[in-house]
Amino acid sequence: MKSFRLCLLLICSFSTVNIYAQVKINVASLKAQAFNDLNAEKDHYKKIALQIWDYSELGYKEVKSSSLLQEELKAQGFNVEPGVAGIPTAFVATYGQGSPVIGILAEYDALPGLSQQAVPEKKPADGRNSGHGCGHHLFGTASVAAGIELKKLMIKNGIKGTIKIFGCPAEEGGSGKVYMVRDGLFKDVDIALHWHPASENRADSDGALANKSAKFRFYGVSAHASASPEKGRSALDAVEAMNYMTNMMREHIPSSARMHYVITNGGKAPNIVPDYAEVYYYVRHPDKEEVVRLFDRIEKAAEGAATGTGTTMKYEIIGGTHDLLLNKTLTAEVNNNLQKIGGVDYTDEEKAFGEKIRESFGYPSPKVEEARLIKSVTAEQNSSPGSTDVGDVSYNVPTAGFNTATWVPGTSAHSWQAVASGGTDIGIKGMMVAAKTLTATAIDLLTNPALIAKAKKEFLEAKGNYQYKALLGDRAPALNYRD
Ligand SMILES: [Zn+2]
């Protein structure tokens, strides 16, 4: 490395050629340097990730997880702005100055009801009701690790530019990034990178479903359910009528749409006519405009249900996210790096763990060895059945992402099996593949302005005339949506 730096210095002193040109020649050695550094730091980042796994904090309540990542970045010389976009657990950590500005997204919220120990059978962790079933403890840690490594490389090698780590809370239903986008935090970002824990390694070639969610609240009149039911008006009846209408609607909506609900309050006792009931809805479709149309029909069903049951209704938009605008230029770059870095190899002990997890699925699943493979980017764009608030970032900044195998192949996100793998070295190994891929891709971007220009051109063409508008409107962050 020393001779490389000396060589760089000599070139710089004799030439006025843009720094990009000189660094570009040595991209491979920059990446090798990064991978060595990250390998050496594995235990350090493992500690951070497992600490966040242990905290398992829900959306907008990630106080300890967020501050752990912020402290790490501060200690490494990042300028950290906490509490951005009116969200106490959101932050932006910046290193460097000037362009290009590379944004890396970090998540850290857990899921309710998925308490699980790091063992290959279903076994809730004592005293905990939540779990990292989506692996966001790995997501946040890998992104922070990449940011810190990039900072080191920039200093050592005189690379110009800015790295911004976006601490993004409440991805699971809270639409955290949407408020950050709405507040203009991504305005000066040239490229945004993200990744997601998964049961395979692959650059993003699938989109995501746009999603709009709301809590519909019905207000009725309570009465003795047996002695004077005629005096009551049941808010639960209204919820049931609304759900019935929505379920009938299913025949008359595009087949790629998804509508789901849970009754979050259905009354307190059978002998009291419920004067209050609440139902929480998600509406999804690959096209954000179709989501808005479907949501409007559901709203009509809610109004009709209130009219028919003699109750009143109010609803609160809880979240709203765009579909994912893919960028082939960036995806190709991510794919190149991922292919070179390679997947995850299990030790014999991890293989045994993986086999037990596979036995628990009750459905056919790939062999554990598949964690080693890097899947190819599919030519056809298929919309993945999930949703993400990265969608809103992707309509504002050229964005690329990828998955790594942090879970035993075949594992579904939001399962106890995902929580279990995420608490072991299986998860940590996948996390390090992600940290390396983020770092390598950012090196490509920092050293190749033509790549950024190409990605931006594609982004503008793909976006066309679409004017970004948050699906959740102008509501304030739903900080208590997990209460
Ligand atoms: Zn997730």
How many whole angstroms from 323 Cα to the centroid of ligand 1?
A: 15
Region 391-415: what's the mean pLDDT? 96
DSSP secondary structure of 387-438? --THHHHHTTS-EE-EEEE-S-TTPPTTSHHHHHHHTSHHHHHHHHHHHHHH
Extents of the domains making up the chain = 41-208+325-463, 210-321
How many whole angstroms from 391 Cα to the centroid of ligand 1?
A: 13
Share of the chain above pLDDT 90, in %: 90
How many whole angstroms from 414 Cα to the centroid of ligand 1?
A: 8
204: alpha, beta or left? (left if phi > 0; alpha if psi -120 to 50): beta
Confidence of residue 3 (pLDDT cuts 50, 70, 90): very low
- pLDDT for 294-335, tens place per residue? 999 999 999 999 999 999 999 999 999 999 999 999 999 999
How many whole angstroms from 137 Cα to the centroid of ligand 1?
A: 10
**Burial of 24 by CB count in 10 Å (0-12 exposed, 13-18 middle, 19+ buried)?**
middle
Q: Are 106 and 166 in contact (CB under 8 A)?
A: yes
Res 80: pLDDT: 98
- pLDDT for 102-113, tens place per residue? 999 999 999 999
How many whole angstroms from 170 Cα to the centroid of ligand 1?
A: 10
How many whole angstroms from 105 Cα to the centroid of ligand 1?
A: 12
Give the sign of the dihedral formed by CA 299, CA 302, CA 306, CA 312.
Answer: negative
Region 369-388: what's the mean pLDDT? 79
How many whole angstroms from 135 Cα to the centroid of ligand 1?
A: 7
Alpha-carbon dihedral angle through residues 91, 454, 100, 398, given to the nearest 10 degrees? -10
Res 207: pLDDT: 84
How many whole angstroms from 140 Cα to the centroid of ligand 1?
A: 11
How many whole angstroms from 169 Cα to the centroid of ligand 1?
A: 11
- pLDDT for 214-226, tens place per residue? 999 999 999 999 9
Region 134-155: what's the mean pLDDT? 98
Does the domain made of 41-208+325-463 have the CATH classification 3.40.630.10? Answer: yes
How many whole angstroms from 385 Cα to the centroid of ligand 1?
A: 13
How many whole angstroms from 37 Cα to the centroid of ligand 1?
A: 27
HSE (CB half, 13 Å, CA atoms) of 153? 31
* Strand locations in 34-90 (E): 79-82
- pLDDT for 226-257, tens place per residue? 999 999 999 999 999 999 999 999 999 999 99
CATH topology of domain 210-321: Alpha-Beta Plaits (3.30.70)
How many whole angstroms from 387 Cα to the centroid of ligand 1?
A: 9
How many whole angstroms from 196 Cα to the centroid of ligand 1?
A: 7
Res 386: pLDDT: 86
How many whole angstroms from 193 Cα to the centroid of ligand 1?
A: 15
Region 387-411: what's the mean pLDDT? 96
Confidence of residue 448 (pLDDT cuts 50, 70, 90): very high
How many whole angstroms from 134 Cα to the centroid of ligand 1?
A: 4
DSSP secondary structure of 197-227? EESSBEE--SB--EEEEEEEEEE-B--BTTT
Res 1: pLDDT: 38
Res 9: pLDDT: 39
How many whole angstroms from 136 Cα to the centroid of ligand 1?
A: 6
Region 127-144: what's the mean pLDDT? 97
Res 25: pLDDT: 53
Compute the mean pLDDT over every residue in the chain, rounded to the nearest whole number: 93
**pTM for the complete prediction?**
0.90
Q: Are 232 and 220 in contact (CB under 8 A)?
A: yes
How many whole angstroms from 171 Cα to the centroid of ligand 1?
A: 7
Contacts with 58 (C-beta within 8 Å, 6 or more apart), sequence order: 109, 110, 111, 112, 130, 172, 482
Region 134-159: what's the mean pLDDT? 97
- pLDDT for 4-30, tens place per residue? 333 343 334 333 344 554 444 589 999
Region 51-59: what's the mean pLDDT? 98
Query: What is the layout of strands, in order, in the sheet containing 191-193?
Result: 79-82, 91-97, 161-168, 101-107, 191-193, 399-400
Confidence of residue 380 (pLDDT cuts 50, 70, 90): low
Single-letter residue type at 463? K
Res 17: pLDDT: 40
pLDDT at 396 over 60: yes
Nearest to residue 205, comparing CAs of 342, 389, 403? 403
How many whole angstroms from 231 Cα to the centroid of ligand 1?
A: 47
How many whole angstroms from 173 Cα to the centroid of ligand 1?
A: 10
